[in-house]
Amino acid sequence: MEPTEAGVVMGHEAVGVVESVGSDVRTVKRGDLVVMPFAWSDGACEFCREGLHTSCLHGGFFGNLQVAGAQAEVVRVPLADGTLYALPVGSDDALLPSLLTLSDVMGTGHHAAVAARVGPGKTVAVVGDGAVGLCGVIAARRLGAERVIIMGRHPDRIALAREFGATDVVSERGEEAVERVRELTGGLGAHSVLECVGSEQATLTAVSIARPGGAVGRVGVPHYETIPAAQPTFYNNVTVSGGPAPVRAYIGELLPDVLEGRIEPGRVFDRVVGLEGVPDGYRAMNEREALKVMVGP
């Protein structure tokens, strides 16, 4: 992140109770428990109607100098009708951690799977064992993947990935990881690769393990200028797709599975802090002491 003079209220993933609404708001009301996707959107423009809310003509991303983030006592949500999704449960519901993931990480893992064209019977590789990668495992299984190879090296995260439905683990990196996935896939590679890191190395690995005709879904924010391996992806007809997930478009589809307990993405949260604990929460995640920290009121 870039340092700023004034500081920024961080945090773009939230569930919360509506305290008050503006005079133009029609569909959410005081007292509703709502999911706040990480981007706001009007729900009405050409791109929102196509289900690509992160490209909303009137939208934007929470947590910048103009629109504050949600690690705060209250958050102002622009375009509330288009942005917020009212939930059919109370704020004391045991499913709250999983419902919170619909604001970003579960929707993002799902987007990676959709972009990578996951489907029944396919072999899927997930690059990255962070919260998004783990949700990607859930999403891949949910969409019918037969094999899910998780690529990561943190034992506790790998264990959770297995519980979420990963069938194989590759802990090597770089060229060795590519070799290992080839061995596991009869030399062919994976139909679908979910790139959930954003580094150049991870992206090179992702495009290198896709089989001919396969697809890579990128959801890691790229820390690189150009997509690597232009020639191999060209000669192998590999599709490279993805971007910021339009999580608002996916809530309606994912919500029943959360409410009925078929998926439990909230298990990615392994620590809860209050607002005063936020700096230590970031430290713990940075030092890989915590996978993902939830901030309580």
Q: Which of 25, 45, 72, 229 binds Zn ion (CB under 5 A)?
A: 45
CB of 259 to Zn ion, least distance (A): 27
Q: Are 149 and 181 in contact (CB under 8 A)?
A: yes
Query: Given the complex with Zn ion, which of 61 and 282 has the nearer CB atom?
Result: 61
Distance CA 214, CA 9 (A): 40
* CA gap 133, 125 in Å, rounded: 10
Cβ proximity to Zn ion: between 48 and 249 the closer is 48
> Measured between alpha carbons, how far is 94 from 266 in angstroms, rounded to an integer?
10
Query: How many chain residues bind Zn ion (CB under 5 A)?
Result: 5
Nearer to Zn ion, 117 or 248 (CB): 248
Q: Which of 239, 250, 190, 244 is nearest to 222 (CA)?
A: 244
Distance CA 236, CA 286 (A): 37
Among 15, 36, 52, 56, binds Zn ion (CB under 5 A): 56
DSSP labels for 63-86? SSSSS--SSSS----SSHHHH-EE
Among the listed ranges 33-41, 141-149, 188-196, 231-239, the one in contact with Zn ion (CB under 5 A) is 33-41
Q: How far is the CB of 84 from Zn ion (least distance, A)?
A: 14
What is the closest distance, in whole angstroms, from the C-beta atom of residue 43 to Zn ion in the complex? 6
Stretch that binds Zn ion, among 53-61, 93-101, 144-152, 281-289 (CB under 5 A): 53-61
C-alpha to C-alpha distance for 211 and 185, rounded to whole angstroms: 9
Which of 9, 21, 28, 42 binds Zn ion (CB under 5 A)? It is 42
Please identify which residue in 48, 204, 251, 284 interacts with Zn ion, judged by CB under 5 A: 48
- Shortest distance, position 59 Cβ to Zn ion, whole Å: 6
Closest distance to Zn ion from the beta carbon of 30 (Å)? 25
Residue 139 interacting with Zn ion (CB under 5 A): no
The answer to whether the CB of 217 falls within 8 A of the CB of 111 is yes
Count, residues in the chain: 297
Question: Six-digit token pair at 4?
Answer: 């700023």
What residues does 147 pair with on adjacent strands?
A: 123
Segment near Zn ion (CB under 5 A); pick from 15-23, 55-63, 71-79, 96-104: 55-63
DSSP state of 282: H
| Minimum distance from residue 252 beta carbon to Zn ion (Å) | 16
- Smallest gap from Cβ 102 to Zn ion, in A, equals 19
Phi first, then psi: give them for residue 284, nearest 5 degrees.
Answer: -60, -40
- Residue 213 is inside which H or E element, if any? strand 210-218
Q: Whose Cβ is closer to Zn ion: residue 44's or residue 65's?
A: 44
Q: Does 273 bind Zn ion (CB under 5 A)?
A: no
Closest CA to 69 of 106, 109, 103: 103
Look up residue 110 and give its amino acid.
H
81 lies in the binding site for Zn ion (CB under 5 A): no
User: What is the nearest approach in angstroms of Zn ion to the Cβ of residue 42?
Assistant: 4
223 C-beta neighbours (distance < 10 Å), count: 12
Task: Indicate the residue among 15 and 56 with the shorter CB distance to Zn ion.
Answer: 56
Please report, as ranges, the residues that interact with Zn ion according to CB under 5 A: 41-42, 45, 48, 56
